[in-house]
Amino acid sequence: METARLEALLERLQTTKSIDELQVWAHELRDFFGVTHVFYHTASLKSEQVGAFTYSLEWARHYIDKDYRSIDPVVLGAQRRFHPMDWKTLDWSSPAARAMMREAMAHGLGNQGWSVPIWGPHGEFALFCLNHTTDDASWETFTRKNGKDILVVSHLMHEQAMRIINKEMDEPTAELSPRERETLTQLSLGQSRAEVADALQISENTLRAYIDSARHKLGALNVTHAVALALARGIIVPTGALPKY
C-alpha cells in the first residue's frame, strides 16, 4: 500500500510545472512521510535561491533576514558532505546555532532532522530535509525504515526543480493540476474539507494548499467561487450542488 502511494505521489511530482506547484506538492510529501515539515532549497544555482517548503513564510523571511544560512549547522554540514545526515550528528555547540534552533522550534519546526545534500555536475548545490518533533529512538526507527525512499524522493524532487528552473517544462498556465482538479471535484459534491482530505488521503493542511493554489489560478474569491468557475469552464464535470462555505 505504501509503495503504491509513493509511486502515485511521484507521478504527481512529474505534473508540477512551476516552483509554486512544487511547493504545494511538498505538503503532500510531508503527509506521506508523516513528519512536521519538508523543505528543499538550492544554495547555488544560476545565482538563484529557490525553495519549496511546508513551514511558515514568517519563518522563511526571518531566517533570511537574520542571515541564518551563514551559521546554520544543517547548511554548513551539508556543504562538506555527500551522504544523508542526521541533524544530531552536526555541530550545535555555538550559542548562535542553539539560539537559531530555539527560534525555529518557536516557529513550529521540530527537534529532529534528516538532510540529503545534492550536488550537480557544475558545482550546483541543493539541500532536501525532513523535520519532525519526536524522541531520538522513534526518529532513528523512522530514518532506518525510510532512508532509501527519502534518498530517491530527494533526487527526483531536485530533478523536477531543475527542469522547472531551466524551463524544460511547458510554460505554467492557469490550468489546474490533476490534484487541484480532484480537490475541486470532491468539493463540488458538497463534501466537507475533512471528508475530501480523507478521500484523497491527505491532511487538511495539504488540502488547503491545493485549494489556495486552485483559487489563485482561477482568480476566485473563495472556495465556492473556485468550484463555480471550474464547473463553468468545463475544468471539472458537474456532479452535484455547490458546497456552502
Which tens digits make up the pLDDT trace of 82-120? 899 999 999 999 999 999 999 999 999 999 999 999 987
The reported pTM is 0.77
**Whether residue 58 has pLDDT greater than 80:** yes
Domain ranges of the chain: 2-165, 178-232
C-alpha cell at 237: 464535470
pLDDT at residue 69 greater than cutoff 50: yes
Question: How many other CB atoms sit within 10 Å of the CB of residue 235?
Answer: 20
Pick the CATH number of 178-232 from 1.10.230.10, 1.10.10.10, 3.60.21.10, 3.40.50.970: 1.10.10.10
For residues 202 and 199, what is the distance between their CA atoms, to the nearest angstrom? 8
- Pairwise CA distance, residues 134 & 105, whole Å: 12
Q: Judge contact between 56 and 107, C-beta under 8 A.
A: yes
Compute how many other C-beta atoms are within 10 angstroms of the C-beta atom of residue 243: 17
How does DSSP assign 126-176, residue by residue? Answer: EEEEEEE---HHHHHHHHHHHHHHHHHHHHHHHHHHHHHHTT-SPPP-SPP
Class of domain 2-165: alpha beta
**Largest Cα span, the chain:** 59
Share of the chain above pLDDT 70, in %: 91
